Chains A and B, each alone.
Chain A
Amino acid sequence: MPLPLYYFLSITAVNILMSWALYVPYRMAHLHFLVVANMAISGYAAAYMVLSLHLPFGLALLAGFAIGAAVGFLVALFIGDAPTFAVVIVGFTFIYIARTVIENTEAVGGTMGLFGLPNIGGDPAVHRWTILSILYGLVLLVGFLIHRFDHSQLGRAASAAFIDKDLTTSLGIDIRKMGILLQTFSCTLAGGCGVLYGFIYKSFHLDYFTFHVVGILMTFIFVGGYTTLWGAVLAAPVLYGVPLLFPPEIASWRIVIYGALLVLVLVLKPEGVITTRFVYRVEALLSRKGLKQPPSTNP
Chain B
Amino acid sequence: MKKMAFGVLATLLLTTGLGFAQTNVAVSEWQIPFLNCLTGPLASHGSMYQWSTNQAAADINKAGGIAGKPVRVIGVDTANDPQKGTVEMARIVKESLVALGPVPEPVIMAAMPIAVENQMLSITGTTSYEYASKFFPWSVAWFPPYPKRFPPLAKGWAGQFSDMKQVIQFVEPFGPWPMMAEAHVAGLKEAGANVLKPVEVPSDAVTFGPLVVKALEQKPDGIIFCCNAEKVAKMIKELKSRGWQKMDHILVFSSGDDAPLYTVGGEDINGIQVYNYVNPDIDSPRWNAFKTAFMKDHNGMPPFSLSTNYYDALFMIKEAIEKTGVTGDPKKLKEERKKIADYCANVKGFQGLMFSWDMKDGGPTNKPLFIFEIQGGKKKLVKEIKLAG
Contacts and interface: CB of A to CB of B under 8 A. Distances in A.
Given A112-B179, A124-B117, A205 B93 contact: no
Contact of B77 (A11, A200, A208, A251): A251
Given A11-B86, A112-B176, A251-B39, A208 B110 contact: yes
A255 interface: yes
A54 interface: no
Contacts, number: 88
Interface of A: 2-4, 6-8, 11, 103-104, 110-113, 115-116, 124, 200-208, 212, 240, 243-244, 248, 251-252, 254-255
Contacts of B110: 201, 203, 205, 208
Given A103-B173, A201-B86, 18 more contacts: A7-B87, A110-B178, A111-B177, A111-B179, A113-B109, A201-B82, A201-B109, A201-B113, A203-B109, A203-B110, A205-B82, A205-B110, A206-B106, A244-B87, A248-B75, A248-B76, A251-B39, A255-B40
A111 B173 contact: yes
B90 A202 contact: no
Interface in B35-93: 38-40, 75-77, 79-84, 86-88, 90-91, 93
A3 to B, nearest CB: 4
Given A7-B87, A201-B109, A111 B176 contact: yes
Interface string B129-143: 011001000000000
Interface in B137-186: 173-179
Contacts of A203: 109-110, 113
Contacts of B117: 124
A205 B94 CA distance: 26
Q: Please tell me the size bucket of the interface on B.
A: 35 or more
B178 A111 contact: yes
Contacts of B106: 113, 205-208
Contact of A254 (B79, B82, B86, B90): B79
Contact of A6 (B39, B80, B90, B105): B90
Which of B91, B93, B109, B177 gathers the greatest number of chain A CB atoms within 10 Å? B109
B278 to A, nearest CB: 25
Contacts of B84: 243-244
B382 interface: no
Nearest to B84: A244
B114 interface: yes
Nearest to B117: A124
Which of A104, A201, A205, A240 gathers the greatest number of chain B CB atoms within 10 Å? A201
B175 A4 contact: no
A116 B134 contact: yes
A130 to B, nearest CB: 15
A201 B91 CA distance: 15
B76 to A, nearest CB: 8
A47 to B, nearest CB: 12
Given A115-B134, A251-B77, A252-B77, A3 B174 contact: no
